[in-house]
Amino acid sequence: MNKTLEKIFVIVTDFITINLAWIVYYYYRVESGAFVMLSRPEFLLPMLVIYLYWLLLFASIGMYRPWFASSRFDELSKLFKTTFIGVFILFALIFFDDAGAKHQHHSLRYLILIYWGILFVFVGSGRLFIRSLQRYLLIKGIGRRNTLLIGFNERSKEVVDRLLKFKQLGLDPVGFIAVNKSNLGKKYKGIPVIGTIDEIPKIVKERNIKETIVALLENDEETIMNIIAKFDSLGVSIKIVPDLYQIVTGQVRKSSVYEVPLMEINPQLMTEWERKLKRLMDIVVSLIILILSLPISIITAILIKLESPGPVIFKQERVGLNGRIFNIYKFRSMINDAEKKTGPVWAGKNDPRITKVGKFIRKVRIDEIPQMVNVLKGEMSLVGPRPERPYFVEKFAKEIPFYKRRLLVKPGITGWAQVKHKYDESIEDVKTKLKYDLFYIENMSIRMDLKILFRTVFTVLLGKGHFEE
């Protein structure tokens, strides 16, 4: 069962069970006469509104994320907490302006508990059915994921034993990656050592690898970072079997594969609701800026056209999320065909190619306004690492370890590196900015985004910083 089909199944099941819960509750509340209400409520419209409420709440909490070898108990626990809190919010909204509610607080408490109990039983049963069906399909060989083991040792062999024993995990070990080349050609339970660390990108594509488990006897930091770098932009889930010290000190974010603790690499640090709120912020703020800045944009376009020939809007290829290429938009601040003779080069601080109008609009960041269209289209965010050109991405990736990790998040109009560092004038500046970008990626949150946006406003007002290379 692929991720899209899985999500459809879960949403349809929730649709049925949430509405069934409402029907049963409605009958108990109105038809049975157990509670005397002031008036008979409508049936279908409230049912639709209630379903949409739960759909949005479940989606924001992350209950429609792909489920993979997770505990059904954990899912029911999450459902228990979500519905418990959600049902009280729901009843507070429904009865807040009910004139008769103040005369029947005792009845309302029972109503809340009865509806919550019915909802939890119905939705929980539906979720258990779907998850049990998924496990059955995995055991039967449907929806399984090819898995690569890094390391050929007792630890990796133990993991393979678990994967072969517990088919419901849906992980098919297809081969080992040797850290020591002397292990090439060896096998364990019919599973061969199929390559070395340098061959990882080729093996991932050839073998359709979806999961990777790093199981080294010694968690050598340099080796592990080298391995992780090989998976940049490959779209493969990476987990590490941690050592005892990491487990005891709580330094790892663990999932457990039948008694084998695993540390997840690059987990989503922003929760589902934060990611959705971040996208909502992008849409609302970019629309407001585009509307409010319309007079400024019109004047800027006229001045650019009067000063030099060429298009008003400058369009250039940039590398976005997961290496996808898109066209970035900005007001042209240089002479037309500025790189015709030089090829791709950085814009210097006092670049002679910059026009007089261009110098001003760069200083006050007016040239960035058209990028709000990129934000609306979902190609960029308000906050994130600045998008770089394909030529420079490939150049820097060869010279700077982990440079492509910037591509794990959506690029932004502004970022932590832009408010903390100066113009890029050397490869050392790029390395410094990369540190800031990686810090942002590992600490992403709505609070962090707001902090960067406020710092950006402060930076622009002072005329400092640099937002475009």
Average per-residue pLDDT for the chain: 80
| φ, ψ (nearest 5 deg) of residue 320 | -110, -150
- Long-range CB pairs of 87-94, under 8 A, 24+ apart, other chains included: 87/112, 87/115, 87/116, 87/119, 88/112, 90/50, 90/53, 91/115
Kindly give, in sequence order, each residue whose CB lies less than 8 Å from that of residue 180, ignoring residues fewer than 6 positions away.
Answer: 152
Residue 427: the pLDDT is 75
Q: Give the residue among 362, 366, 328, 361 at the shortest CA–CA distance from 348.
A: 362
CA distances from 366 to 37, 296, 424 (A): 60, 8, 20
Residue 344: the pLDDT is 60
CB 104, CB 95: distance < 8 Å: no
Model confidence band, residue 188 (pLDDT cutoffs 50, 70, 90): very high
Q: What is the 3-state secondary structure (H, E, C) of the chain?
A: CCHHHHHHHHHHHHHHHHHHHHHHHHHHHHHCCCCCCCCCCCCHHHHHHHHHHHHHHHHHHCCCCCCCCCCHHHHHHHHHHHHHHHHHHHHHHHHCCCCCHHHCHHHHHHHHHHHHHHHHHHHHHHHHHHHHHHHHHHHCCCCCEEEEEECCCHHHHHHHHHHHHCHHHCEEEEEEEECCHHHCCCEECCEEEEEEHHHHHHHHHHHCCCEEEECCCCCCHHHHHHHHHHCCCCCCEEEECCCHHHHHCCCCCEEEECCEEEEECCCCCCCHHHHHHHHHHHHHHHHHHHHHCHHHHHHHHHHHHHHCCCCCEEEEEEECHHHCEEEEEEECCECCCCCCCCCCCCCCCCCCCECHHHHHHHHCCHHHCCHHHHHHCCCCEEECCCCCCHHHHHHHHHHCCCHHHHHHCCCEEECHHHHHCCCCCCHHHHHHHHHHHHHHHHCCCHHHHHHHHHHHHHHHHHCCCCCCC
Identity of the amino acid at 152: F
Domain boundaries, the chain: 3-139, 145-264, 272-462
Cα gap 420→77, rounded to integer Å:
42
pLDDT digits (tens, 9 = 90+) for 440-449: 887 788 888 9
**What value does the mean pLDDT take over residues 188-205?**
90
pLDDT digits (tens, 9 = 90+) for 236-257: 878 887 664 444 334 444 555 5
Phi-psi region of 95 (alpha: psi -120 to 50; beta: other; left: phi over 0): alpha
Residue 233: the pLDDT is 65
| φ, ψ (nearest 5 deg) of residue 332 | -65, 125
pTM across the whole model: 0.57
Q: 28-42, 100-114, 195-209, 417-431: which has the minimum mean pLDDT?
A: 28-42
pLDDT over 80 (residue 267)? no
**What value does the mean pLDDT take over residues 81-97?**
78
Cα gap 417→190, rounded to integer Å:
49
| φ, ψ (nearest 5 deg) of residue 366 | -65, -30
Model confidence band, residue 278 (pLDDT cutoffs 50, 70, 90): very high
Q: Which two tokens stand for residue 119?
A: 């909802």
Q: What percent of the chain clears pLDDT 70, i.e. is strictly above it?
A: 77
**What value does the mean pLDDT take over residues 338-353?**
63
Q: Give the residue among 263, 150, 165 at the shortest CA–CA distance from 217.
A: 150
pLDDT digits (tens, 9 = 90+) for 48-81: 888 999 988 888 777 887 665 566 777 888 899 9
Q: Give the residue among 31, 35, 54 at the shortest CA–CA distance from 116.
A: 54
**What value does the mean pLDDT take over residues 198-202?**
88
Q: Give the residue among 276, 250, 255 at the shortest CA–CA distance from 265.
A: 255
Topology of domain 145-264 in CATH is Rossmann fold (3.40.50)
Residue 110: the pLDDT is 73
**What value does the mean pLDDT take over residues 121-133?**
91
pLDDT digits (tens, 9 = 90+) for 132-171: 888 888 888 887 889 999 988 888 898 899 888 888 888 8
pLDDT over 80 (residue 184)? yes
pLDDT digits (tens, 9 = 90+) for 286-326: 999 999 999 999 999 999 999 888 899 999 999 998 788 99
For residue 43, how many other CB atoms are within 10 A of its CB? 12
Q: Give the residue among 235, 178, 183, 227 at the shortest CA–CA distance from 205.
A: 235
